[in-house]
Every structure is written in C-alpha cells, then in structure tokens.
Amino acid sequence: MIIDDPWHELKAFTAARIALGRTGSAMPLQEVLRFKLAHAHARDAVYSSLDIDALGEVNLLHSKAADRAEYLQRPDKGRQLNENSRLSLTPVNADLAIILVDGLSATAINHHAIPVLDYLYPMLQAKKISLAPVQLVEQGRVAIGDEIGELLKVKLILVLIGERPGLTSPDSLGAYLTWQPRSGLTDEARNCISNIRPEGLPYKLAAEKMYYLIHEALRLQLTGVMLKDNYNLRIS
C-alpha cells in the first residue's frame, strides 16, 4: 500500500524532492526510479561537452587540465590557461570581456548562453559599452576568467559558466562579474548571479540583472562585496 505524504500539495511550489510518499518503510518504486534518472542526468551534465559550432564566433581556449578526469581531480589546473591559450591572447581596448566556460555542466552553456546574450547585447550596445571578442574555455573554472581578463587588459569580465548539477537542475548557468581581473583574486572580488535557466531565473531577468551590475561596476569601478545588487530595489 502506497501512503501519500501530507506535504504533497507543497510540490506545486518547488522542484525539491519532497512529499515522495512511502511503501511500508521504503520509498515507492516510481520515486526510486525518478531519483536514479535525475542522478544519471546530473552525471551526464558533468561529462558533457561544449557545442562549439552552435556557440558562434568565439576564441577557443583551454585550461591546463588535459581532459575531464584531470579537470575533476585537479581543480587548480582548471583555473589556469595552458600555454597555447595564453599566447593566443593579446590586449584589446574594451570595457568588457564575456567569457563562456564549460565548468561542471557544458550543457548549461549549450542551452542557455546564447538566449541570455541575445537579451544582454542590445542593452550593452545601447550604452556603447565596448566588448572584447567572446572567449570560450574548455575544462575551465570561474577563476580562469581572471587570467583571461588580465591578458586582454579589459576593465571588466563577465564569466558565464555551467554550475555544479543538482538532482533537479543539471543545466543551471551561473554568471560572475569581476572588476580589474587579475590572477590570484578570490570570490569576494566577484558578483554572482546563479540558477539561470527557464525553471529558475529567466533569461530576460538574468540579462537585466547582469546589465545593471555591469553598468554599476563601470560607474563605481568595483565589484564583489563592495558592489550591492540593488536591481530589485530599483524596479520596485
């Protein structure tokens, strides 16, 4: 006999794994199978690859991690460019560099990067914010953007990266904004927007928040703990 969970009605408000019910002292078979499927999707996302052709005209870079196994075992190598990638970068006269990084879910970049940028680009162009060529990084982590921005000598970087997959979100996209990027910076120097996907933070709202933070970062010449995200207060 399957016993319903009294929290069942709350499932309408969250994708979290609640109100699963039970069969005796165990979960129902259907929920066990759903858990295994969600776990498989999360594992697939970690080992997914960038769809380079679909991402348009980008400069392809690679971290010091030679492959996915080394990337997962050596996070430090995912934060540094390999030598060929370093040599391919030259300074540009630009306000902002947008950097796409596979992170722990290339699926997130494949699914969401272009739709977000389709909303963001017109706002940047309207304010004449100059852009460096888009950089695309394989086997990268957030901090690799600092090295790229330092070599490009841009004022500001926006890193779009696949976040660590969850059991209900294998394709969540994160955005990290850093003023005066340089190697050795830590997380307090960045602003983060997380859970960008249709089931989380919608593309248009994510792009508007990114633009607000970009505009404020250039105006105040700072990011991180000193730059407050007052976007919601501005529109309330």
Res. 128 pLDDT band, cuts 50 70 90: very high
Q: Which pLDDT value is given to residue 76?
A: 97
Separation between Cα atoms, residue 236 and residue 234, nearest integer Å: 6
Q: Is the dihedral of CA 96, 100, 104, 105 positive or negative?
A: positive
The topology (CATH level 3) of 53-235 is Rossmann fold (3.40.50)
Backbone phi and psi for residue 168, each to the nearest 5 degrees, phi listed first: -115, 5
Note the pLDDT tens digit of each residue in 167-224: 667 899 999 999 999 999 999 999 999 999 999 999 999 999 999 999 999 999 999 9
Res. 236 pLDDT band, cuts 50 70 90: very low
Q: Which pLDDT value is given to residue 30?
A: 72
CA neighbor of 225 nearest in space, from 189, 194, 200, 196: 189
Delimiting residues of CATH 3.40.50.11240 domain(s) in the chain: 53-235
Q: Which pLDDT value is given to residue 25?
A: 74
Q: Which pLDDT value is given to residue 143?
A: 98
Res. 48 pLDDT band, cuts 50 70 90: confident
Specify which residues 99 forms β-bridges with. 135, 159
Catalogue the E-assigned strands of 75-183: 96-101, 135-138, 156-162, 173-179
Name residues whose C-beta falls within 8 Å of residue 25's C-beta, 6 or more positions apart in sequence.
none
Contact predicate 28/20, CB 8 Å: yes
Residues 57-80 have a mean pLDDT of: 96
Structure token digits, residue 53: 């052709």
Name residues whose C-beta falls within 8 Å of residue 101's C-beta, 6 or more positions apart in sequence.
109, 136, 137, 140, 141, 142, 144, 145, 159, 160, 161, 162
Separation between Cα atoms, residue 133 and residue 57, nearest integer Å: 9
pLDDT-above-90 percentage for the chain: 71
Residues 127-151 have a mean pLDDT of: 98
